[in-house]
């Protein structure tokens, strides 16, 4: 699963042999520890909330929100110690071998909100009877490609640039501008513009919009707040500006978006 991630290997990467088995969104309601298991599929865990303490064949893997871990087939895995706080994570089992040069076994996602949407999309397709089985396979492959892309960006970009991207993501509920970000980090706006073009092939303004949309999407899909409450929480001066912003950039209204991907499997302990 480990290997050098180059632009050429990423471009030629294929996941055609990967097939989805099952998955869900797990949530604990008290003290919890992962049961001991040895299974014949690969399992991907993506942490949403709380900390989980896992191990595979005795190797520890503490997971925090925004981190992922692959449990490999036919290897013993279990919880290393209990989690006393509430935890929540996506889990996906699949068959097939990940190609050489794929993302590492264990890592941190750069754009968590975008990945969260892809997880929900996968679960929606998998749990909607009208969708063919192949839809879940394709959604899983897209999710894995996104994970690999985010890992490659983390490897290719500088630590300082990653900090800037993370700060934008963490403040995506605010009406940020390129000037405000440049002032926050003490750089000239033109210099940051070149960094974004070189590392992400987009402008800083486009990235800010992307993160702002990701925040709004998470609020729409993961909360029961009204549209007006979401608009106020995201710092829109007027509700109509929120509607216009979302519709222009997403191509649909917030209400239409909220009605997407509603079928997901949740399991609790």
Closest CA to 173 of 132, 214, 226: 214
pLDDT of 13-36, one tens digit each? 578 889 999 999 999 988 999 999
Residues of the chain with CATH 1.10.10.60: 159-258
Mean pLDDT score of the chain? 87
CA distances from 15 to 39, 131, 260 (A): 21, 20, 26
Query: What distance in Å separates the CA atoms of residue 113 and residue 95, rounded to the nearest whole number?
Result: 26
Query: What distance in Å separates the CA atoms of residue 147 and residue 117, rounded to the nearest whole number?
Result: 12
Query: What distance in Å separates the CA atoms of residue 71 and residue 54, rounded to the nearest whole number?
Result: 10
Contacts of 166 (CB under 8 A, 6+ apart): 110
Please, is 207 exposed, middle or buried when counting C-beta atoms within 10 Å of its C-beta (0-12, 13-18, 19+)? Answer: buried
Alpha helix (H) ranges present in 91-201? 112-126, 133-156, 159-170, 178-185, 189-200
Residues of the chain with CATH 2.60.120.280: 7-156
Quote the distance between the C-alpha of residue 205 and its chain's center: 21
Segments of the chain scoring below 50 in pLDDT: 2-12, 156
Angle between helices 178-185 and 159-170 (to 10 degrees): 130
Alpha helix (H) ranges present in the chain? 7-12, 112-126, 133-156, 159-170, 178-185, 189-200, 204-222, 227-233, 239-250, 254-258
Of 2.40.420.20, 3.40.1160.10, 2.60.120.280, 3.40.50.150, the CATH number of 7-156 is 2.60.120.280
* Dihedrals phi, psi of 95, to nearest 5 degrees: -110, 155
Give residue 9's pLDDT: 47
Contacts of 242 (CB under 8 A, 6+ apart): 216, 227, 230, 231, 234, 236, 254
Give residue 43's pLDDT: 97
- Is the separation of the CB atoms in 248 and 206 below 8 Å? no
Give residue 3's pLDDT: 42
pTM of this prediction exceeds 0.85: no
**3-state secondary structure (DSSP) of residue 217:** helix
Contacts of 118 (CB under 8 A, 6+ apart): 139, 142, 143, 146
Domain at 159-258: CATH architecture: Orthogonal Bundle (1.10)
């Amino acid at each position: 699963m480990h290997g050098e991630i180059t632009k050429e290997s990423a471009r030629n990467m294929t996941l055609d042999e990967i097939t989805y088995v099952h998955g869900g969104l797990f949530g604990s309601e008290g003290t919890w520890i992962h049961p001991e298991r040895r299974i014949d599929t690969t399992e991907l865990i993506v942490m949403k909330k709380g900390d989980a303490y896992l191990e595979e064949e005795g190797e520890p893997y503490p997971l925090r929100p925004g981190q992922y871990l692959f449990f490999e087939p036919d290897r013993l895995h279990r919880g290393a110690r209990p989690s006393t706080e509430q935890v929540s994570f996506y889990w996906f089992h699949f068959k097939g071998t990940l190609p050489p040069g794929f993302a590492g076994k264990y890592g941190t996602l750069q754009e968590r909100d975008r990945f969260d949407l892809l997880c929900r999309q996968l679960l929606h397709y998998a749990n909607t009877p009208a969708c063919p089985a192949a839809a879940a396979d394709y959604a899983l492959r897209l999710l894995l490609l996104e994970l690999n892309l985010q890992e490659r960006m983390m490897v290719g970009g500088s630590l300082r640039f990653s900090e800037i991207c993370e700060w934008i993501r963490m403040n995506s509920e605010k009406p940020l501008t390129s000037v405000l970000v440049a002032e926050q980090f003490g750089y000239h706006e033109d210099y940051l513009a070149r960094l974004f073009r070189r590392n992400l092939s987009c402008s800083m303004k486009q990235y800010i919009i992307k993160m702002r949309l990701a925040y709004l999407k998470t609020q729409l899909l993961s909360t029961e707040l009204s549209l007006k409450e979401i608009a106020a929480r995201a710092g829109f001066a007027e509700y109509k500006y929120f509607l216009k912003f979302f519709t222009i950039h997403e191509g649909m209204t917030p209400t239409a978006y909220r009605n997407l991907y509603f079928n997901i499997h949740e399991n609790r302990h």
